[in-house]
Structure 1
């Protein structure tokens, strides 16, 4: 057991005027399993890169362990997996790798296949297996769930629960709850460390915010009352002072003493008001202002929007899943469930009339308007205003939605190719929320999206009840919004 100490850490990118971190101090134990959370753009990945020594910073980071980073860059994926893993962890014996892979439900034969032939989920698992065999290393795991299906997330979460000594960046609440014992959170004003899983952290955070909202209201009322009292006292003091100079004889000494006493009282009230104002300023600094989103879905004329009858997407002459039959009815929110490669995305692409071969019959209602959020964000280029014009959506509404999802005005001036992965996904979601449609077709919409925004979207869907078909591996989200599951 040892400590990683962060003292007075201050950092900003050379091209930015604002500090991402400013005088940040905390310490963590190298035996802890830390979940690392915070809104998109707060600096989670940046902080991991600072630990790795990639950037210059002010302050001090002390650690008696070496840091490894996931995802690990594999330069030549045509090599055998065993060769790739021996580069990751040269001292690992073959039996050790096989033991770790077994715990991740990866077959032994994967070692003797080219790394490129492994699925994305298998690549994630074998690289984690090798990285955890590094002795006296502390692992920085950056969003490992983006290539894992629901079952894969369960397996990796259970595997991480048996390990120790890592920081895990993830926005999947169930995944975090399954494997971490501490939470490292980047809030609006500070970074804090708390014992427990995500659910216990979130409960504590909500309680603290509720308490601070109550205290904030009390301070507002107190300040208003003190301001009234100060005005009354100042008025009395002026009246008393003016009475010294009347035409009739007066005891100016007595009046002066009384005036001074009233002035002293006024200063005391002002000091109390100032104290209350300072206490109020210290409240709600970490409150996340996740404003309510809105959606205006169209109502289709018929109860039945789409019918899949023995539909089977085909690649190279072979079906990639068993023939599926189901209907999408008005008001339903259907989640497609299945392992990676089971054909979920292909079914959504068929709905969007993309050129994919298939067998069976797909019937799409006449005049049906669809809104699509694809998995891939790599094609996003240019300014947000150009994107809005290209897709014929209202630019003001588009940017207002992004503001509610945590975008700052500075990000509106950036090109979309310079956005973080989460910001790119938010741009696609905001576009869909701008579109009035009968059916919303979302393919893994939450990849890289922060937890606050996930909760915002859950609340939106529950309130406006759009008809949807979607693919998403976040179990908490599925439980919150899906009305039916179709298993492939």
Structure 2
């Protein structure tokens, strides 16, 4: 057990005016299981890179442990997994790897397959297992759930719960609750550490915000009252001072005037102190403006029908026959393991060529708004993206502002955006589109918790017809009306 100490950390990127960290100080124990939470673009991945020594900074980071990073940069995916993992954990024995695999429900034979043949979920699991075999290292885990289906998330959470010594960046509330014992929160003005899981941290954070809000309202009233009182005392003092002219006892009147002026200055000092106290409050308040959307009404109840649809890959069926309808007001979630054809069903609905049997019937004139899983193609500036997609630029940027985009982001190329910010661009586009059906493929990948809650409230209020692939169980439980399991 040792400590990682951060003292007066200050950092900004050389190409940007944004100050990411400003004089930040805190310390953490290397035995803790830390969940790292905060808004998109606040600097979570940047902080991990600072721990790794990848950037120059002001201040100090003091640590006696070596840091490892996930996702591990794989040099050659064509290598056999065993050979690749020897690079990751050179001191680990084969039996130790197989033991870790068993905890994660990974078949032993993946060790002797080329890494590129493993599913994304299997790749995530084997790399995590190997990294945890580096004894004495402290692991920095950045968004591991994005390639994990629901069952795999549960298994990885169980695995992490048995480990210690890591920082985990994730926005999946259930996942964090199941495997961390401390929360590291990156706020608007500082970084804080708190014992407990995500839910307990969220309750405490909201209570603190409510308490500060009440205190701020009280101080506002006090400042107003003191301002009036100080002005009244000053007026009285000036009147008394004016009455000295022609007064029989100028000494008494002068003493009275000085006393009133002193009282006025005392009240003014109290007012200034209250203003200072008020300025310290709610600096870390997280606001989530109300989002809006305008779904279109369809002329019949049934929008889409899947009848005995089987997705195929290279002539091989990868899912059982799927039969279901999407009706007005439905919010349909498709669940299944990675590689079971979930995204393929969505692409099939969107008119992409996907090898399949069965029939997909799309209602005449149906307008669909689509959020794809992939964001890698997003480059260029927001105004160009808006024009290309026929969006109202002012509305589009207004939605992004409500999703916590700073105005300075509007001046950047999208290739500089974080993963969460890119996903928000696609969601904002969809919210600007009037459609009968909204088809979203893993929309919450990289999206921060506050925005997830914001989107939940939006969907509950406007009740659009939607088809999802999404593995966030808290989100699914909040809004799903129908669950289709592959």
TM-score (norm 2): 0.99
Among 466, 473, 476, the alignment partner of 1:478 is 476
Distance in 1 between residues matched to 2:233 and 2:434, nearest whole Å: 59
Alpha-carbon shift at residue 319 of structure 1 (Å): 2.2
Among 301, 326, 329, the alignment partner of 2:327 is 329
SS in 2 for 1:292: coil
Aligned to 1:135: 135
Aligned to 1:393: 391
Is the counterpart of residue 197 in structure 1 residue 197 in structure 2? yes
Distance in 2 between residues matched to 1:104 and 1:436, nearest whole Å: 43
SS in 2 for 1:290: coil
SS in 1 for 2:17: coil
TM-score (norm 1): 0.98
SS in 2 for 1:268: helix
Cα deviations across residues 196-237 of structure 1 (Å, max 9, x unaligned)?
000000000000001011101101111111111122112111
Alpha-carbon shift at residue 345 of structure 1 (Å): 0.5
Aligned to 1:284: 282
Distance in 2 between residues matched to 1:297 and 1:93, nearest whole Å: 57
Q: How does 1:300-379 map to 2 (within 5 A)?
A: 300-379=298-377
Aligned to 1:231: 231
Distance in 1 between residues matched to 2:156 and 2:248, nearest whole Å: 89
Distance in 2 between residues matched to 1:276 and 1:240, nearest whole Å: 29
Aligned to 1:273: 271
Q: How does 1:125-274 map to 2 (within 5 A)?
A: 125-245=125-245, 249-274=247-272
Alpha-carbon shift at residue 318 of structure 1 (Å): 2.3
Is the counterpart of residue 461 in structure 1 residue 459 in structure 2? yes
SS in 2 for 1:50: helix
Aligned to 2:297: 299
SS in 1 for 2:179: coil
Cα deviations across residues 247-270 of structure 1 (Å, max 9, x unaligned)?
xx4322111111111111110110
SS in 2 for 1:178: helix
SS in 2 for 1:308: strand
Distance in 1 between residues matched to 2:355 and 2:18, nearest whole Å: 51
- Please identify runs of 4+ aligned residues in structure 1 that moved more than 6 A: none
Alpha-carbon shift at residue 243 of structure 1 (Å): 1.5
Alpha-carbon shift at residue 317 of structure 1 (Å): 2.0
Distance in 2 between residues matched to 1:379 and 1:42, nearest whole Å: 23
SS in 1 for 2:468: strand
Is the counterpart of residue 65 in structure 1 residue 65 in structure 2? yes
SS in 1 for 2:167: strand
Distance in 1 between residues matched to 2:457 and 2:166, nearest whole Å: 32
Question: More deviation in 291-300 or 15-24?
Answer: 15-24
Distance in 2 between residues matched to 1:352 and 1:237, nearest whole Å: 78
Cα deviations across residues 124-160 of structure 1 (Å, max 9, x unaligned)?
0000001000011000000000110111100000000
Alpha-carbon shift at residue 101 of structure 1 (Å): 0.4
Distance in 2 between residues matched to 1:400 and 1:212, nearest whole Å: 28
The number of residue pairs the alignment matches comes to: 486
Q: How does 1:76-91 map to 2 (within 5 A)?
A: 76-91=76-91
SS in 1 for 2:373: coil
Structure 2 segments unaligned to the other structure (5+ residues):
none
C-alpha root-mean-square deviation of aligned residues, in Å? 0.9
Cα deviations across residues 28-83 of structure 1 (Å, max 9, x unaligned)?
11100000011011111111111111111111111111100000011111111111
Aligned to 2:401: 403
Is the counterpart of residue 101 in structure 1 residue 101 in structure 2? yes
Distance in 1 between residues matched to 2:104 and 2:314, nearest whole Å: 30
Alpha-carbon shift at residue 17 of structure 1 (Å): 2.6
Distance in 2 between residues matched to 1:161 and 1:18, nearest whole Å: 36
Distance in 2 between residues matched to 1:362 and 1:165, nearest whole Å: 49
Q: How does 1:411-422 map to 2 (within 5 A)?
A: 411-422=409-420
SS in 2 for 1:41: coil
Alpha-carbon shift at residue 18 of structure 1 (Å): 3.3
Distance in 2 between residues matched to 1:51 and 1:114, nearest whole Å: 31
